[in-house]
Structure 1
Amino acid sequence: MLRLGCEAIGVDCEMGTLMLADGRAVRNDLVVIADGAHSRLIEDFTGYPSAVSPTGRSIYRWLVSMDDVTADPDLRAYYENQLPGFTSWRDPLNDIFWVNYTCRGGTVLNNAVVHETQAGEGEDDLWHSSVSKEQVLAMLADFHPTTKKIVNMATEDGIKVHHLFKRPPLSSFVRGRALVVGDAAHVMMPTHAAGGAIAIESAASLEVLFAGVHGKDAATVAQRMQLFDQLRVPRCNLTMLASNAGPLWLNVPGVEEEIRRFYHGPLPPAGCLPWSKEFRELLFHHDEYGAAEQALAQAQVTSHRL
């Protein structure tokens, strides 16, 4: 049953009970907490204050028509007859990272500029505040004039800004009858564009582990939840910590040691740069369907032996 218009304001993880804003309490065989980075339920899950903290970084984002981009002779060379992927520019002195890529079938260019948060920037709406072209151009003052044409192509109300946050890694994504997925479980910077992918992996894991499981079979539900935890905590925390370290990722002192608290699998060699072959294989070539199927098969073999 799908319940619409039911705001959840709390959860009893041990009992699997959701408290709704209208005063009702709904008990479930399994609760999946997936209400994002600013989760209202995560503190009920952890049992302690778990609000996100600002990173001091924000991101400008806007869309422009690729027709406008390719009509400009200076910009055309960046985007015509290129391999699929993204274009990026970086100002290392001011720690500004600009990345863009086409979407909507190649008709639109999506832009994102990660930068140090400016005073008063985005305070009225931490996710979707408007910002002027002049403010963005001032931030990009040291970029080449050709690239700044893309800013001027945005509509007057088309550029938005939001703050970037983080939360310490969780040692478990499971408690009682509840589990947590997505940004509610692992808030990560957009450095490597991995947040959406890692959440989709978790959905794939749930699909495999809970296929054919009856909700009233509490023992099986509990076993599958533990398998989910074993599969996802190392993978998700690896990705989150690497992303939050920024473009230098594993080359930042202390990051690998923190990752090793949760993840004990192979890592790229020292000095490996983002988007290298080793990097892509680690973050983007993972087969969660296969991993979940293998873990489930192994657990069933072990159970039969017992």
Structure 2
Amino acid sequence: MLLQYNATDLKLLQKDYYGPDSGAEWSRFWSVHRVDLHNGLRELAIQAQDKILGPPVDVKLGQEIAVVDCETGTIRLKDGRWEQHDLVVIADGAHSRLIEDFTGNPSTVHRTGRSIYRWLVSMDEVNTDPVLQKLYADPQGTCKSGFVAWGDKENRILWVSYKCRGGQVLNNAVVHDTQTGEGEEDLWQSPVSREQVFKVLQSFHPSVQKMVYMTSEDGIKTHHLYKRLPLQSFVRGKALVVGDAAHVMMPTHAAGAGVAIETAATLETLFDFSGIREKNTWTMERRLEVFDKLRVPRCNLAMLSSNAGPDWLQVPGVENEIRKYYSGPLPPAGAMPYSSAFRDVLFKHDEYQAAKECMDKTAKILSGRDGKETEDK
């Protein structure tokens, strides 16, 4: 459930239920701490797999890549060694250094003038305040809250919180205008004082402000938000680019993780050798053509809509820009972020099904072009 309140008087502005009993045809939302997710994914990657999934991943740390030759799939490590690969996946984030090797041009990433404060607090401590305790419970008592947010439109501040680690920890994120001297070093986690955060949040209700002091002095970090021009393609030669390296987006709709999961589903389907290894028509080049066809529309939709802000449907020119890449349905004008119509577009999409259908369609085209499908010898 989403609960959004006015920052000053805690008036309820929006309540939207998206639990398993809501009648929605898509999966429920999950609130996960980033570190826990990273650790979980790593464990899944390195553990022994069955014969279908293949051998465990060999994670090599401390081997920085200096150069990527996308056309040949060759990489040069910082220590000077060269390696040749069938496929190179560039996934080095918003501050990607390798994107210039991919595009052949200087990176177009630039600051937006917006930043985020992040910190964790214990829900046990949050529940000691009677006002806060009520904010994290459905007024009717029918379900648990998912996202709890407070907005100050006049000062362009949005504070979003959600519970993770089984409801024991509360993650806080405050989107605000970048302050002077704040994170100038462009680090992912630059330290910021509680006094600085409190100054930005001075218009917020006193009970909400208390959560700034529920963490240690060095527990609050900040980082800048960035944008980059949309890419026309995520594929070049034997390389592809994914995640923030491909499509930096503002956290407006929390869609970054969603499109990352979709991209993982695309790669899993395209490289499921148990189902397609017998067809020599499925060369690496053709697989990557399908990847581009599937991912460019969805990823650029999420990026452009997120970067335009909560009112992106009313921002002149945004829909026209989206339509350069994406031809599917959009929410109706006036739809609020996280409303049912909005969620259907950004989060209801089944990438496994879309990838399978695209591959089946491509196989039929190839079969008709070649006269018949040629079996591997």
Query: What TM-score, normalized by structure 2, do the two folds share?
Result: 0.78
1:38 maps to a residue whose letter is: H
Partner of 1:72: 129
Q: Quick check: 1:137 aligned with 2:198?
A: yes
Q: Quick check: 1:7 aligned with 2:83?
A: no
Which of 22, 38, 41 is equivalent to 2:79?
22
Q: Quick check: 1:53 aligned with 2:110?
A: yes
Shift of 1:18: 0.7
Which of 248, 270, 292 is equivalent to 2:333?
270
Q: Quick check: 1:37 aligned with 2:94?
A: yes
Partner of 2:157: 96
Give SS of 2:158's match.
strand
Shift of 1:229: 0.1
1:302 maps to a residue whose letter is: I
Stretches of structure 1 lacking an aligned partner (at least 5 in a row)? none
- Structure 2 vs 1, CA of residues 161 and 223 (structure 1 numbering), >3 Å: closer, same or farther? same
The answer to whether the Cα contact below 8 Å between 1:62 and 1:159 also exists between their aligned partners in 2 is yes
Q: Percent identity?
A: 62
Give SS of 1:163's match.
strand
Following TM superposition, the consecutive aligned residue runs of length 4 or more in structure 1 with deviations greater than 2 angstroms are: 80-84
Distance 1:225 1:296 in 2: 11
Please, what is the CA RMSD of the aligned residues?
1.5
Which of 284, 290, 295 is equivalent to 1:227?
290
Stretches of structure 2 lacking an aligned partner (at least 5 in a row)? 1-56, 370-377
Which of 349, 352, 356 is equivalent to 1:289?
352
Partner of 1:63: 120
Q: Quick check: 1:162 aligned with 2:223?
A: yes
**1:95-244 → structure 2 map (5 Å cutoff):** 95-212=156-273, 220-244=283-307
Give SS of 1:97's match.
strand
Give SS of 1:122's match.
coil
**Range 116-125 or range 92-101, more displaced:** 116-125
Give SS of 2:232's match.
coil
The answer to whether the Cα contact below 8 Å between 2:63 and 2:78 also exists between their aligned partners in 1 is yes
The answer to whether the Cα contact below 8 Å between 1:54 and 1:163 also exists between their aligned partners in 2 is yes
1:199 maps to a residue whose letter is: A
The answer to whether the Cα contact below 8 Å between 1:85 and 1:101 also exists between their aligned partners in 2 is yes
Give SS of 1:71's match.
coil
Shift of 1:83: 3.2
Shift of 1:219: 6.1
Q: Quick check: 1:245 aligned with 2:302?
A: no
Distance 1:301 1:146 in 2: 61
Shift of 1:303: 1.3
Shift of 1:258: 0.9
Shift of 1:170: 0.1
Partner of 2:364: 301
Shift of 1:249: 2.2
The answer to whether the Cα contact below 8 Å between 1:198 and 1:236 also exists between their aligned partners in 2 is yes
Give SS of 2:283's match.
helix
Give SS of 1:49's match.
coil
Give SS of 1:206's match.
helix
Partner of 1:258: 321
**Range 53-62 or range 19-28, more displaced:** 19-28
The answer to whether the Cα contact below 8 Å between 1:38 and 1:51 also exists between their aligned partners in 2 is no
Distance 1:61 1:2 in 2: 32
Query: What TM-score, normalized by structure 1, do the two folds share?
Result: 0.96
